[in-house]
């Protein structure tokens, strides 16, 4: 895409350096733990060692005797104010602190408030809790057995552990196709429970001013406005009124969905500050973050794909068992308990499909957050991309060929999917062709055949995913009733410099740069003179925050729309200044000129100055606009990834030799930021493919609850990522952009898994669950008699 604006203006398409990096790379970012207020106290949390236990007694005497410990808050204390339970974003209920039962290991049991972080930790150590352990239910299948004990006995009339059943598509029509299909393939695919492991853990500083009755809450949240409203709804009855709540989300060190939910620690800090009247800081440590904060994934999917003998795919059926832990604390839009899982038909032209899901309570921590994916899209993409490879193996067709034959064609867009989505635009053939060209697909297949003759293991894996992002249109999308629009407010100062505020919140995405570029594109004010501000609910317009790749599709669109309102005003002022009619004016980035007389022109800076100094009579003075953007549809980014692996037959070690990611996210705002997003996302896709999984034993213990055992890949493990792009603009988005942050996290795991399984397929391997570790491969090699003795 050529740039419409000059380098000086720095509108869309310019790879300008990130404005925020000046502070980040110098260690000058201001994160929540950098906030220090006079008289600030510290909160630390007593956590349950049991996955399921009755609390018989909590003895706080020894803790209170420690000099510097000011208070210990228990569930019984919160019960007095009816604050011991809170709603989740999915309208389930969650304990703030328990009064009688703990439901998962590491659950918050009591909060200790002290004059220093160290004293608070000593206080935690001194709190004595008398538990009566019970046998936990750790597997969703067990939880749904008819005689399973009911975990949520707090819910009146609850007779089982089923949270909800959800289904969509044509059950009977799909069954009919399956009955008559030439080929049916079926696999059990498990996507394990993983964690976002953002570099910064969660935390807050709650500062309640007793005189003003105002709460200022500095908090690691991706959705500050929603938090303010939730606080007002939950704690309204104890006097927290929405105008007296200010949520400030400072710099955030990674969110990835994990900083959307409200954790008990936040509420305890607020309660403590209100109670004591002093600021209270709570910052999780790494282990607490990993063990108690919202997990992601944990879907056990039974997938079936029907096709004719030529490989024309006909129907898809997926039945999923979802483990939500002890409460449904996912952060999906209200009407979508399984998020956007129904994107599982992927990039393929299906006649019919059906998917259903049972969500179960277990004694695991709650969650189901959209870890760098737009609400369960990662699970959906993994299912379909594995199944397409599985079909290719079954009928002996090349997986690239099979994909090409079944892709939705370019001229079918806008495309109505079998499960009800209207895909906005796409060109799947071009993306896969490009990936195949870059990596030299045909030569790789020849090489693979040669290597197999020599007993060497090499695999090629493809993933051609379709994402669904930008939630979302208000007719279907809300969280706790609040519609999922987003907003931008632009205020241009007399000298032509601007501040723009948004309802979203960057956690590393580079909003301060990209939003400025969108406004620069529309108004011609240089991006470097547009200051972007987010995260302060006292100043920013209302919006639902940043997750699910929604910032560009919603707030980015709002920026363009607000800027266009200003350009309209600018045209009027220019006409007034140049004494011509509006129709006689021509816009080029940064100025209006008279048609046919380009020397008669007014720059945007002159026009803005006039709006304060010489505005036309009858026109409002000043140069400000606000827009709340309600998207007409979601956007559907896509891409084709190809991964090449070599496997060591003696150790099972997997080496990713090459990985090409061809992404199409529509029009690009800043190619350098897109590239950076893709690199990061691919590494976070590598993580579950080969390393990460939260493992629980049957007693409810987390067996890898620290970074000693939970393997997060670093630069050392990451291969050299190769990237390329195609551009298929979104037809309904004001700037044709689609969102990119999550595509690579969605697309990388199936590409890697498919490559590894491809390397082993001639040995009879049809499927392996992620993470595919060297140990798993080594075991398979031994089972198949293909291992080399060291």
- Which residues sit opposite 486 in a β-bridge? 629
The single residue of 202, 373, 488, 643 carrying the catalytic annotation is 373
Find the angle CA(82)-CA(84)-CA(89) to the nearest 5 degrees. Answer: 100
Q: Which is nearer to other proteins, 11 or 123 (CB)?
A: 123
Residues 33-62 that bind other proteins (CB under 8 A): 48-51
Least Cβ distance, residue 193 to other proteins (angstroms): 15
What does the alpha-carbon distance between residue 698 and residue 764 come to, in Å, rounded to a whole number? 32
Q: How far is CA 263 from the centre of its chain?
A: 17
**Angle made by CA atoms 183, 189, 190, in degrees to the nearest 5:** 175
- Residue 259: exposed, middle, or buried by beta-carbon count in 10 A (0-12, 13-18, 19+)? buried
The verdict on 128 binding other proteins (CB under 8 A) reads yes
CA proximity to 126, closest of 42, 43, 46 = 46
Minimum separation from the CB atom of position 652 to other proteins (A): 14
> CA 502 to CA 540: how far, in whole Å?
6
Q: Least Å distance between CB 112 and other proteins?
A: 14
> Site for other proteins (CB under 8 A): how many residues?
26
DSSP assignments along 40-63, one per residue: -EEEEEEE-SSSSEEEEEEE-HHH
Cβ contact 697:652 at 8 Å: no
Please report how close the Cβ of residue 145 comes to other proteins at its closest, in angstroms.
22
Q: Does 137 bind other proteins (CB under 8 A)?
A: no
Chosen residue from 116, 188, 416, 706 binding other proteins by CB under 8 A: 706
Nearest to 705 by CA among 43, 48, 33, 44: 48
The answer to whether residue 665 is catalytic is: no
Which is closer to other proteins, CB of 138 or CB of 575?
138
Q: What's the closest the beta carbon of residue 694 comes to other proteins, in angstroms?
A: 12
Strands 367-369 and 624-629, by their bridges, are unpaired
Which of 197, 196, 193, 194 lies closest to 323, judged by CA?
A: 193
Q: Is 302 in the site for other proteins (CB under 8 A)?
A: no
Among 6, 35, 40, 125, binds other proteins (CB under 8 A): 125
Nearest to 745 by CA among 407, 215, 376: 376
701 binds other proteins (CB under 8 A): yes
Return the number of the residue (695 or 788) whose C-beta is nearest other proteins.
695
Selected range binding other proteins among 123-131, 193-201, 444-452, 508-516, rule: CB under 8 A: 123-131
Q: CB 266 → other proteins: shortest distance, Å?
A: 23
Question: Which span sits near other proteins by CB under 8 A: 153-161, 166-174, 604-612, 704-712?
Answer: 704-712
CB closer to other proteins out of 528 and 704: 704
Q: Which of 42, 104, 131, 407 binds other proteins (CB under 8 A)?
A: 131
3-state secondary structure of 420: coil
Q: Is 360:149 a contact under the CB 8 Å cutoff?
A: no
- Which residue in 264, 365, 700, 744 binds other proteins (CB under 8 A)? 700
Judged by CB under 8 A, the residue of 8, 100, 130, 582 near other proteins is 130
By the 8 A CB rule, do 607 and 572 touch?
no
For 125-163, give the DSSP string.
Answer: HH-EEEEEE------HHHHTSTTPPPS-TTSTT--SSEE
d(CA 315, CA 304): 8
Site string for other proteins, 532-561 (x = CB under 8 A): ------------------------------
Q: CB-wise, 135 or 595, nearer to other proteins?
A: 135
75 binds other proteins (CB under 8 A): no
Nearest to residue 555, comparing CAs of 512, 510, 515? 515
What 8-state DSSP symbol labels residue 632?
A: S
Give whichever of 48 and 514 is closer to other proteins, judged by the CB atom. Answer: 48
| Residue 713: strand, helix, or coil | coil
Binding test (CB under 8 A) with other proteins, winner from 697, 707, 779, 784: 697
Instruction: Round to whole Å and give the CA distance between 343 and 636.
Output: 10
The interface region with other proteins, picked from 83-91, 542-550, 691-699, 742-750 by CB under 8 A, is 691-699
For 357-371, give one letter per residue: b (16+ CB within 10 A) or e.
bbbbbbbbbbbbbbb
CB of 322 to other proteins, least distance (A): 23
DSSP character at residue 66: S
Among 478, 699, 717, 722, binds other proteins (CB under 8 A): 699
128 versus 582: smaller Cβ distance to other proteins: 128
Catalytic residue among 372, 390, 550, 658: 372
d(CA 509, CA 255) in angstroms, rounded, equals: 10
Tokens 């006995």 correspond to what residue?
153
Token pair 């393997």 is at which residue? Answer: 711
Task: Select which of 222, 448, 509, 517 is catalytic.
Answer: 222
Contact criterion met (CB below 8 Å) for 359 and 163: yes
Please state the closest distance from residue 123 (CB atom) to other proteins, in A: 13
3-class SS shares of the chain: helix, strand, coil, % to 5: 30, 25, 40
- CB atoms under 10 Å from CB of 32, counted, come to 25
3-state secondary structure of 7: coil
Q: Tell me, yes or no, if 222 is annotated catalytic.
A: yes
* Residue 352, token pair as written in the block: 């019919």
Q: How far is CA 85 from CA 50, 156, 425, 659, in A?
A: 20, 15, 44, 47
Minimum Å gap between C-beta 231 and other proteins is 31
Task: Give the interface segment with other proteins, choosing from 241-249, 556-564, 645-653, 698-706 (CB under 8 A).
Answer: 698-706
Give residues with Cβ within 8 angstroms of 679, minimum separation 6.
Answer: 721, 723, 744
- Contact map string, positions 248 to 287, toward other proteins, x by CB under 8 A: ---------------------------------------x
Q: Which of residues 321-380 bind other proteins (CB under 8 A)?
A: none
Using the rule CB under 8 A, is 112 a contact of other proteins? no
CB of 133 or CB of 671, closer to other proteins: 133
Nearer to other proteins, 23 or 779 (CB): 779
For residue 534, the tally of other CB atoms under 10 A from its CB is 23
Identify which range of 124-132, 213-221, 380-388, 569-577 contacts other proteins by CB under 8 A.
124-132
Here the tokens at position 478 are: 């809300």
Cβ neighbours, 10 Å, residue 417: 22
Of 137-145, 311-319, 375-383, 705-713, which part binds other proteins (CB under 8 A)? 705-713
Nearest approach, Cβ of residue 140 and other proteins (Å) = 19
The edge-to-edge listing of strands for the beta sheet with 214-219 is 69-74, 108-114, 41-47, 280-283, 203-209, 214-219, 245-248
Closest CB 130 distance from other proteins, rounded Å = 7
Residue 703, interface with other proteins (CB under 8 A)? yes
- Taking the least distance from each CB to other proteins, the nearer of 132 and 442 is 132
Work out whether 291 is an interface residue with other proteins (CB under 8 A).
yes
For other proteins, the closer of residues 8 and 709 by Cβ is: 709
Shortest gap between Cβ of 57 and other proteins (angstroms)?
10
CA-based nearest residue to 751, from 286, 260, 381, 304? 381
- Residue 695 in contact with other proteins, rule: CB under 8 A: yes
Tell me if residue 488 is catalytic: no
| Closer by beta carbon to other proteins, 288 or else 512 | 288
One residue of 145, 450, 620, 709 binding other proteins per CB under 8 A: 709
Closest approach of other proteins to the CB of residue 371, in Å: 22
Q: Does the annotation count 94 as an active-site position?
A: no
Q: Output 50 or 341, the one with its CB closest to other proteins.
A: 50
Chain residues binding other proteins by CB under 8 A are 48-51, 105-106, 125, 128-131, 133, 287, 291, 695, 697, 699-706, 708-709
The residues annotated with a catalytic role in the active site are 222, 372-373, 742
């Amino acid at each position: 895409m050529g740039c419409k604006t000059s380098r000086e203006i720095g509108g869309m398409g310019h790879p300008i350096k990130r404005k925020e990096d000046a502070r980040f790379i110098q260690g000058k970012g201001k994160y929540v733990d950098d906030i220090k207020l006079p008289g600030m106290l510290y909160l630390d949390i007593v956590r349950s060692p049991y996955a399921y236990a009755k609390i018989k007694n909590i003895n706080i005497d020894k803790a209170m005797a420690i000099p510097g410990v000011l208070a210990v808050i228990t569930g019984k204390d919160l019960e007095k104010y009816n604050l011991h339970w809170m709603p989740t974003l999915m309208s389930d209920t969650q304990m703030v602190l328990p009064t009688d039962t703990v439901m998962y290991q590491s659950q918050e049991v009591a909060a200790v408030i002290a004059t220093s972080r160290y004293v608070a930790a000593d206080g935690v150590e001194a709190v004595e809790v008398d538990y009566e352990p019970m046998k936990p239910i750790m597997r969703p299948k067990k939880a749904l057995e008819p005689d399973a004990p009911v975990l949520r006995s707090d819910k009146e009339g609850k007779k089982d552990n089923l949270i909800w059943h959800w289904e969509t598509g044509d059950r009977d029509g799909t069954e009919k196709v399956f009955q008559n299909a030439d080929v049916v393939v079926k696999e059990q695919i498990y996507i394990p429970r993983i964690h976002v492991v953002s570099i910064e853990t969660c935390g807050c500083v709650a500062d309640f001013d007793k005189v003003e009755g105002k709460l200022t809450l500095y908090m690691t949240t991706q959705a500050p406005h929603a938090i303010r409203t939730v606080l007002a709804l939950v704690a309204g009855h104890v006097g927290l009124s929405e105008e007296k709540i200010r949520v400030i989300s400072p710099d955030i060190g990674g969110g990835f969905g994990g900083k959307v939910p409200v954790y008990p620690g936040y509420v305890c800090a607020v309660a403590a500050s209100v109670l004591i009247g002093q600021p209270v800081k709570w910052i999780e440590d790494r282990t607490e973050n990993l063990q108690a904060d919202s997990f992601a994934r944990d879907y056990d999917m039974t997938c079936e794909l029907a096709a004719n003998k030529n490989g024309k795919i006909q129907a898809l059926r997926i039945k999923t068992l979802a483990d939500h832990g002890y409460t449904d604390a996912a952060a999906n839009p209200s009407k979508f308990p399984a998020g956007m899982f129904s994107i599982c038909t992927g990039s393929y032209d299906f006649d019919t499909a059906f998917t259903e899901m049972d969500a179960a309570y277990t004694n695991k921590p709650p969650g189901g957050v959209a870890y760098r994916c737009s609400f369960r899209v990662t699970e959906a993409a993994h299912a379909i991309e594995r199944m397409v490879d599985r079909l290719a193996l079954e009928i002996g067709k090349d997986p690239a060929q099979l994909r090409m034959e079944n892709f939705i064609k370019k001229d079918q867009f806008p495309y109505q999917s079998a499960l009800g989505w209207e895909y906005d635009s796409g060109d799947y053939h071009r993306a896969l062709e490009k990936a195949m060209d870059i990596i030299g697909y045909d030569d790789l297949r020849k090489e693979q055949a040669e290597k197999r003759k020599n007993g060497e293991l090499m695999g090629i894996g493809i993933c051609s995913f379709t994402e669904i992002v930008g939630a979302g249109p208000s007719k279907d999308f809300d969280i706790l009733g609040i519609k999922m629009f987003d907003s931008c407010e632009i205020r241009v100062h007399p000298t032509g410099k601007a501040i723009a505020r948004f309802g979203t919140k960057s956690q590393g995405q580079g909003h301060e740069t990209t939003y400025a570029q969108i406004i620069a594109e529309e108004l011609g004010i240089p991006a470097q003179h547009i200051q972007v501000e987010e995260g302060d609910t006292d100043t920013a317009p209302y919006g639902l925050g940043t997750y699910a790749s929604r910032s560009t599709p919603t707030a980015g669109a709002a920026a363009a729309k607000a800027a266009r309102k200003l350009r309209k005003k600018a045209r009027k002022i220019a006409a007034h200044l140049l004494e011509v009619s509006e129709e006689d004016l021509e816009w080029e980035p940064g100025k209006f000129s008279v048609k046919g007389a380009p020397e008669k022109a007014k720059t945007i800076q002159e026009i803005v100055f006039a709006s304060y100094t010489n505005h036309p009579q009858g026109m409002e003075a000043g140069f400000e606009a606000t827009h709340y953007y309600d998207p007409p549809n979601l956007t559907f980014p896509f891409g084709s990834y190809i991964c090449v692996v070599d496997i060591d037959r003696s150790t099972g070690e997997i080496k990713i030799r090459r990985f090409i990611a061809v992404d199409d996210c529509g029009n690009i705002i800043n190619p350098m930021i897109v590239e950076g997003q893709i690199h990061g996302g691919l590494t976070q896709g590598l993580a579950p493919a080969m390393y990460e999984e939260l493992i629980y034993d049957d007693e409810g213990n987390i067996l890898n609850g620290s970074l000693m055992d939970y393997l997060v890949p670093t630069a050392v493990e990451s291969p050299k990522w190769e990237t390329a792009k195609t551009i298929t603009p979104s037809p309904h988005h004001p700037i044709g952009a689609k969102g990119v942050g999550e595509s690579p996290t969605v697309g990388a795991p199936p590409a890697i898994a498919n490559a590894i399984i491809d390397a082993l397929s001639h040995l009879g391997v049809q499927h392996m669950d992620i993470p595919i570790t060297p140990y798993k491969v080594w075991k398979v090699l031994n089972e198949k008699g293909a291992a080399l003795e060291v």
